[in-house]
Structure 1
Amino acid sequence: MSNHIGAPGRGISRREFLAATGGAGVFSLAGCSAPTNSAMEGSATRQVDGSLPSTSPPEVVNVDEQGNSVTLSSVPSKHAVHPLDSMGGPVELPRVWAFKADDGQPSVPGPILRTTEGEDMEITFDNANGQQPHTLHFHGVQKTWENDGVPTTTGIQINPGEQHTYSIPANVPGTHLYHCHYQTHRHIDMGMYGILRVDPKGYEPADKEYFLTLKDWDSRLPRMMNGENVDYSPRDRNPDVFTMNGKSLPRTIHPEEGSPIIVDSGDTVRLHLANSGYMSHPMHLHNHRYRVVAKDGGQIPEAAQHEQDVTNVPPAGRHTIEFEADADPGIYLMHCHKVNHAMNGNFYPGGMVNAIVYRDAMDTDIFAQLMEYAGYEG
């Protein structure tokens, strides 16, 4: 059984989670039923192709601990954004191109590659079982020309049946992106994106530290790539699915499949927000004031930081925010404030919505009800 609880990063263990909730019995509430909308026009509701593997939540790969090397590959997969009929579901993408690291599971977003400033990484893309060319492009860090990952300017692309190793120095600390740069407008929108995290030398982690990737999707593209007769053009892109770490509310708050921000009172909490979509997302935290301490791999001087409760993360932008868990212990939303991004089709709430969950609130009836909406069975 998975030990992964909450968003990827440094959080709590599954044992701690079960202790805080009083065990699985807390979720057996009589009379709890999630709001539904069987019509849910304009969203991805098609039954997925059972022959494809399902994606898993993104994992953190410590590249330093495995000899400064990692192998990535892309796996055609089905991606359950929210698989239930609660809150406007199901919302499913029938085919994505998920990244996997080494012998791990495919995920959307891809695995978080974590390393330390001053290390040199060897990152191999293995396209042995691929069906189309790919490349890898890394934001932020400075590398040699041939390692830039753009086929039109380097002459290097990884065709089906081939593999290629990129030498990527961890010479710019911060939170960065990586993605395929072959037919970029299509390959990112099919799920080929992830986070590269370079910890500065002497890095001091927060009490709780999590990674969250924002993404807007036009579900017609993965449906078209799955063989449906769908009219799609990137010039006519119309996003209808909005995710955090690949999930939409209520699946975002599922402790193992989603990415709830689990905190204890008094914690210093650090969130690394990365936008791998094509739209900006003003991210708002309820009942907490935070500081943006870094942007796009650059540390913000303390004198320039200020308390705020919304930050607009642009396409390809990365904002690291930090706050104290000093609110009345409870459950508070974190969401995009473009309110139509907080929907599943025509159903509100849904979409790009998550929650800050205090451990002290996990044994309440309202938390149990939210877990039922999310499909968590304990």
Structure 2
Amino acid sequence: MTDHIGAPGTGISRREYLAATGGTGAAVLAGCQSPMNLNSKAAAQSDLPTTSPPSVVQVDEQGGEVTLRSVTSRHPVHPLESMGGPIEFPQVWAFQADDREPSVPGPILRTTEGNDMEVTLDNTDGSHAHTLHFHGSHKTWENDGVPTTTGIRVDPGEKHTYTIPANVPGTHLYHCHYQTNRHIDMGMYGIFRVDPKGYEPADKEYFMTVKDWDSRVPRQMNGEDVDYSPRQRNPDVFTINGKSLPRTLHPEDGSPMIVDSGDTVRLHFVNAGYMSHPLHTHNHRFRLVEKDGGQIPEAAQYERDITNVAPAERHTIEFEANADPGIYLMHCHKVDHAMNGNFYPGGMVSAIVYRDVMDTDIFSELMGHAGYEG
């Protein structure tokens, strides 16, 4: 059982969570409203591992080295028969770092400005060719990760080590760059974070990757007879850190942002999808302090409550947890992206949750929707 609670980053421990909620579990709520069952072939692939939430890999603490593998897995987006579920991708290609669990998004690779990372793509047990491409790093030609222009492709049965200098501080993206249109849509993406020298962390810091999916891709790769063309892509699933509401609120499997009154909160957004997503925080105005690895001068910062994140962009925002303690949504304001199929609400929605209200009936009810039993 994990000790991590909330979105990847520096939230609270499971012990703190249980203390804040009074140590009580929540009953799982079930229903059958507008079900969106994408799991038609999952039974045939029941032997596949199930993805876990993305973890933070402190690469500096590993001597600057990390190994990534692609692991064919099942990916539950929202596994319950409530709020438009269940939604499950019967097959994804999840990234696994070293001996950790495979995840979608992939692990957050975190290092410090001035260091080099040696990232080994281990495809010895793979069944598809892959590469690794890192945004936000000035690197040598052969380390760019594009097979068309470098001639380097990691075929099944092979390994390849990329040298990735951490010379552009900020929050970045990495992904497979072989047959990119399909491999990203199969889950091969993650966050690359370079802390600047002398980095001062906020009281709470969270990472969130948003993504739009056409569910026909993982279904087709799982052997289902579906008609799909990348020229006719039609996203029907919208996720934050791989989950859709209400699973996004699950304290261990999802990505709630748990805060205390007075906290300074730093939130790193990454868009790994193919559409722009205007991300909105309820009752909290924030400043955009960093974009695509570029620090925004203080004179150019202003308070707002929405930021439109284009494909592959990275936005870092900061706000004070100065609202009336409560539960406040954070969501894409393309409202059809905040749905599970025809059911609203769902999709690309999470929440800012004050610890002070985690012992209330409404929070317990939300945990029931999320499937958290304590």
The answer to whether the superposition gives a TM-score over 0.5 is yes
Which residue type is aligned with residue 51 of structure 2? T
Alignment-derived partner of residue 205 in structure 1 = 201
Which structure 1 segments of 5+ residues have no match? none
Alignment-derived partner of residue 144 in structure 2 = 148
Alignment-derived partner of residue 321 in structure 2 = 325
- Say if 1:97 and 1:190, in contact at 8 Å, map to a contact too: yes
The separation in 1 between residues aligned to 2:272 and 2:188, in whole angstroms, is 10
Alignment-derived partner of residue 221 in structure 2 = 225
The separation in 1 between residues aligned to 2:236 and 2:125, in whole angstroms, is 31
Alignment-derived partner of residue 134 in structure 2 = 138
Per-residue Cα deviation, 1:243-302 (whole angstroms, up to 9, x for no partner) = 000000000000000000000000000000000000000000000000000000101000
Per-residue Cα deviation, 1:139-182 (whole angstroms, up to 9, x for no partner) = 01100000000000000000000000001110010000000000
Which residue type is aligned with residue 14 of structure 1? R
Alignment-derived partner of residue 38 in structure 2 = 44
> What's the RMSD between the two structures over aligned residues?
1.1
Cα 1:370–1:47 change in 2 (3 A) is farther
Per-residue Cα deviation, 1:184-229 (whole angstroms, up to 9, x for no partner) = 0000000000000000000000000000000000000100000000
Per-residue Cα deviation, 1:296-319 (whole angstroms, up to 9, x for no partner) = 010100000000000000000000
The separation in 1 between residues aligned to 2:35 and 2:241, in whole angstroms, is 26
Alignment-derived partner of residue 286 in structure 2 = 290
Q: Which runs of 4+ in 1 moved over 6 A?
A: none
How many residues align? The count is 372
SS of match in other structure, 1:24: coil
- Say if 1:244 and 1:252, in contact at 8 Å, map to a contact too: yes
Alignment-derived partner of residue 11 in structure 1 = 11
Alignment-derived partner of residue 257 in structure 1 = 253
SS of match in other structure, 2:19: helix
- Say if 2:38 and 2:87, in contact at 8 Å, map to a contact too: yes
Per-residue Cα deviation, 1:64-121 (whole angstroms, up to 9, x for no partner) = 0000000001000000000001101001111000000001100000000000000011
- Say if 1:273 and 1:318, in contact at 8 Å, map to a contact too: yes
User: TM-score, normalized by length of structure 2?
Assistant: 0.98
1:312 to 2:319 alignment: no
Alignment-derived partner of residue 22 in structure 1 = 22
User: TM-score, normalized by length of structure 1?
Assistant: 0.97
The separation in 1 between residues aligned to 2:117 and 2:315, in whole angstroms, is 24
SS of match in other structure, 1:178: strand
The separation in 2 between residues aligned to 1:311 and 1:36, in whole angstroms, is 34
The separation in 2 between residues aligned to 1:77 and 1:191, in whole angstroms, is 10
Alignment-derived partner of residue 369 in structure 1 = 365
The separation in 1 between residues aligned to 2:21 and 2:267, in whole angstroms, is 24
SS of match in other structure, 1:65: helix
Cα 1:35–1:271 change in 2 (3 A) is farther
- Say if 1:62 and 1:113, in contact at 8 Å, map to a contact too: yes
The separation in 2 between residues aligned to 1:289 and 1:376, in whole angstroms, is 30
The separation in 2 between residues aligned to 1:148 and 1:202, in whole angstroms, is 28
The separation in 2 between residues aligned to 1:2 and 1:222, in whole angstroms, is 27
The separation in 2 between residues aligned to 1:145 and 1:33, in whole angstroms, is 53
Counting aligned pairs with the same residue, the percent is 77
The separation in 1 between residues aligned to 2:196 and 2:238, in whole angstroms, is 31
Alignment of 1:85-164 (within 5 A): 85-164=81-160
Alignment-derived partner of residue 166 in structure 2 = 170
Deviation of 1:46 after TM superposition, in Å, equals 2.7
SS of match in other structure, 1:188: helix
- Say if 1:45 and 1:89, in contact at 8 Å, map to a contact too: no
